[in-house]
Structure 1
Amino acid sequence: MIRTYVILTILCLYQIYTSFGQDCPSKQELQSALRQVHKLLSAHETSYLQSIRSLRKKLNLLQSAAARQNTKASNGTCPKLEVPNNGKKLGKVLAVGHEVHFLCEPGYELVGSESRVCQESLSWSGQQSSCRNINECSSTPCLNGGTCVDDVSRFLCTCAKGWTGATCQTPVLTFFTVVTNASTSTSTSSPSVSPSALPSSPFMHPSRCTQFLGSTRCSCEAGFTISGRDSNLCIDIDECEVFHMGQAGRLCVHNCVNTPGGYRCTCPPGYNLTRDSRNCKDIDECETRQHNCTREQICVNTYGGFQCVRVECPRIRNATYVKTSPVRCERNPCPVDNKACSQAPNSVSFHYLSVVSNMSAPRVLFRVSAIRVLGDTLRFGLLGSRGRRHFTVQRSGRQTGQLLLVSPVQGPATLEAEVEMSELERRATLGRYITKVTLFVSPYGF
């Protein structure tokens, strides 16, 4: 390029001289012209080099800015999530890939996502979480025409006439025997049967009789009725038998025990009565520390009891695992030439669920999700399981699969299922992740 420029310059000088009719320049003139050309070329070369340096500097600045932006993105955090009113937030780390969980206080239900993950876009997955007051009156707990008033974590029943109790479940019964015949009245009201002659039992006692205008009226306390044979005798009403089924279902969800003048509901071991004295609520032995699990074991609360489980990492030939959490094992890095190790699961997670007997199906039990996908395909499948006919696995999203219970299970029973999530690139496996789900089925259906 420079040689061409020199030749063009010399030709230009030659044209200048010839255009004025002058002879060819002398040697000194030619050398002077060449020196001028050299200076001109040096100036252009300096300008060219300065332009190159300026362009290179700009490119370096652009590269540095891009690197800083990438570093900021990789080290960035998601915005802080607020604790919902009447609830709790579990998890403080706001970095990419970390989860935050939400719980509500008793008497409130969660609206929105129970768990949210910080995504690479520095935004949270799922919906905003809040705690909404549970309407305890929605299940119509007040029986026999009672009116329900909702309150925080409880309800109050205003009972109709003739009924009492927390859910208006106990009848207030007073029976009268009216004898209008004076002679009959005299015979029935006279102490023909003395109180000492009446049977001695808490389930029967003498009636209260009064005479008015030639007739006798006998009455009993609530929960008793006049004996069909003798108006002087009150016998207990067996509410468990008479009112076994009411407008809102069974009088007692589990078991009814008749008592003198009333009744009481009982629950199986591991349950307590709820405030309505009719339903049963499971006792969380793990939370209340009413268990005998060792430090090496995990306490899993079940309906009516608890289970002590011990998580052990799998023993697979040519692969080793380390426990990264109480319920998760990660595979150690594999040697480059160890193909058998690379085909072993990258991680194995353990999860334990408790359900009631004969729970309605189909029902989603568990979801498995990938935060990010390396390959072009994500596949979900069901491996070996105890009670396989009760389970199936299906995809519920681009990066999520779910384990379903497809048929009811009669308790007590323990079922196991292994859900596999595989990442593939052009049908070649990049990674395998196993989730072992253990299902403890209670013998009771409430």
Structure 2
Amino acid sequence: MKPILLLNLLLHLLWFCNGQSCSEQQEAIKVLRQVQKLLTEHETSYLRGLRALHQRLTQLKDQLLKGETKENCPRLKTPRHGRILGGKLKVGHELHFLCDHGYRLVGSETRTCQKNQTWSGEPALCTGELASVTNTSFLQPAKCSSFQGTQHCTCEPGYLIQPGALCQDVDECSMFQRNAEAKICVHECINTAGSYYCICPEGYVLDPHLNTCQDTDECSSEQNSCPGGSLCVNLYGGFTCVQPECPKPKQNTSYVKTSVQQCEKSPCLMGSKSCLEAPHSISFHYIALQSQLPAPRVLFTMSAPRSLGDSQRFTITRGKGRGLDVRQAGRHRWELVLNKTVSGPAEIQVDVEMAETSSQSFPGKHIFSVTIYVSKYSF
């Protein structure tokens, strides 16, 4: 404000002075230049402040949008020849899928945003009458030509010539998909006019060259939302968050968590036999399997984490009768073996105790706590 008042005063001074008689004119011009410089600096500072304020507002907006995105499920694509009812992506909200007239829905009609920011159900597709068994709607005229009074008719690939110079679509899905040895899609086949395409369940991506479904490793990306201190376990078709806990204190025996997957026994009180005989440590292991895998199959290899005794013995203490067994694979190495085919979805828990024999001290023990997640899919 002061520079403006000073500028007005100088302008009045210059107005009443003429170039010959006013002795203060030169001094006024110098001051006027200083005022101009000061105003320029004020203007520059003002614009710089505006830019800084704009950048800060943009950062706050991005942070708010980013925070909102973390609480939402990813936006789903509208199926071709269909539409989506509902637009909220927050946890607990539903989306409903409808197909246009003449098309039918394949997949989940309703999908719900779950707490782990993934959608329930399977992707929705609109396939229309092209997936029908009869395929009578897949008729088109053949391409015909006449040569020396004889008519020759041909069809495009994926069609068969029919009487009346018509081409009928070949339903590849009906021809091959029902035969396990000749399946053209590992999961689901959708017939189309003159061709077909394969789709995969949620948690998989399609390999279009081999028509197979490849599992998506959610734990190696930002798709999982496991809280801090927990472990992300990738499964076939999804993932789960685990947070193993140490056994509660019992009979003067307590454990301390030394890592996400390991518990160590605290020092025993003098003369506490029950504490001395308890396992020295417990480790937690997680295995993902496809359904209907051939057996026998080695699932997990165990080795003695410490060597206090003369020899080791491995025994299943929990989960007996689930088609699992242990066998020796070396001097200090044993294997957990699946002896029978298992169908999913299923969750199997088994504890394997490693005991060291020694004639001079209490035997050392270690517990391998193994959880097996069997997918409902065979791929």
TM class by shorter chain equals 0.5 to 0.7
SS in 1 for 2:318: coil
Alignment-derived partner of residue 140 in structure 2: 205
Other-structure match for 1:370: 304
- Of 161, 165, 170 in structure 2, the residue corresponding to residue 226 of structure 1 is 161
Percent identity, please: 44
* Distance apart, 1:338 and its partner CA: 1.8
Whole-angstrom CA distance in 1 between matches of 2:375 and 2:176: 28
| Structure 2 unaligned spans of 5+ | 1-135
Deviation readout 1:324-347 (Å, 9 max, x if unpaired): 111001111112222221111110
Q: Distance in 2 between matches of 1:415 and 1:264?
A: 35
Counterparts of 1:22-421 in structure 2 under 5 Å?
203-228=138-163, 230-231=164-165, 233-244=166-177, 249-317=182-250, 318-370=252-304, 372-385=306-319, 388-421=321-354
> What is the rounded CA distance, in whole Å, between the counterparts of 2:264 and 2:344 in structure 1?
33
Contact 2:290 2:377 (8 Å CA) reproduced: yes
Question: Aligned partners of 1:434, 1:372: CA distance in 2, in Å?
Answer: 12
Corresponding position of 2:40: none
User: How far did residue 234 of structure 1 move?
Assistant: 1.7
| Residue 97 of structure 2: aligned partner | none
Contact 2:142 2:161 in 1 (8 A): yes
AA aligned to 2:285 is H
Deviations 1:129-156 (A, max 9, x none): xxxxxxxxxxxxxxxxxxxxxxxxxxxx
Q: Check whether the contact 2:304–2:333 (CA below 8 A) recurs between aligned residues.
A: yes
TM-score after normalising by structure 1: 0.52
Matched to 2:295, the amino acid is A
Secondary structure, counterpart of 2:363 in structure 1: strand
CA contact (8 A) 2:276 2:362 kept: no
Q: Write the deviation string for residues 18-74 of structure 1: whole angstroms up to 9, x where unpaired.
A: xxxxxxxxxxxxxxxxxxxxxxxxxxxxxxxxxxxxxxxxxxxxxxxxxxxxxxxxx
How far 1:371 moved relative to its partner?
5.1
Distance 1:203 1:277, change over 3 A: farther
Native 8 Å contact 1:316 1:344 kept in 2: no
1:368/1:401 contact within 8 Å kept: yes
Q: Which of structures 1 and 2 has the larger relative contact order (alpha carbons within 8 angstroms, sep 6+)?
A: 2
1:357 Cα shift?
Answer: 0.6
Distance 2:360 2:236 in 1: 43
Q: How many residues align?
A: 243
Post-superposition offset of 1:296:
3.3
Q: Is the 8 A contact 1:322 1:332 kept in 2?
A: yes
Compared with structure 1, are the counterparts of its residues 241 and 292 closer, same or farther at alpha carbon in structure 2 (3 Å cutoff)? same
Inter-partner Cα distance in structure 2 for 1:408 and 1:244: 23
Given that residues 202 and 260 in structure 1 are in contact (C-alpha distance below 8 angstroms), is that contact kept between their aligned partners in structure 2?
no
Query: In the alignment, is the contact (CA less than 8 A) between 1:375 and 1:430 conserved in 2?
Result: yes
State the shift of 1:373 in Å: 2.1
| Superposition deviation, residue 265 in structure 1 | 1.2
Once the two structures are TM-superposed, the CA of residue 415 in structure 1 deviates from its matched residue by 0.1
Distance in 2 (CA, whole Å) between partners of 1:319 and 1:368 is: 25
Query: Partners of 2:353 and 2:180 in 1: how far apart?
Result: 47
3-state secondary structure, aligned to 1:389: coil
Larger Rg: 1
Partner Cα separation in structure 1 for residue 310 and residue 283 of structure 2? 24
**Alpha-carbon distance in structure 2 between the residues aligned to 1:394 and 1:316:** 32
What does the per-residue CA deviation read over 1:83-114, in whole Å, with 9 as the maximum and x for residues that have no partner?
xxxxxxxxxxxxxxxxxxxxxxxxxxxxxxxx
Separation of aligned partners in 2, 1:300 and 1:279: 23
Unaligned ranges ≥5, structure 1: 1-200
Shift of 1:239: 1.4
Q: Distance in 1 between matches of 2:261 and 2:180?
A: 46
SS in 2 for 1:433: strand
Following superposition, the deviation at residue 419 of structure 1 comes to 0.6
Shift of the 280–220 alpha-carbon distance from structure 1 to 2, 3 Å rule, reads same
Matches of 1:338 and 1:427 in 2, distance apart? 17
Query: How high is the TM-score relative to the length of structure 2?
Result: 0.60
| Residue identity opposite 2:173 in structure 1 | C
The aligned amino acid for 2:282 is V
Residues in 1 aligned to 2:258 and 2:178: alpha-carbon distance in whole angstroms: 53
Measure, in 1, the Cα distance between the counterparts of 2:137 and 2:372: 47
Q: Distance in 1 between matches of 2:255 and 2:266?
A: 6
Whether the 8 Å contact between 2:349 and 2:372 is mirrored in structure 1 is yes
Which whole-Å CA distance do the structure 1 matches of 2:249 and 2:200 have between them?
46
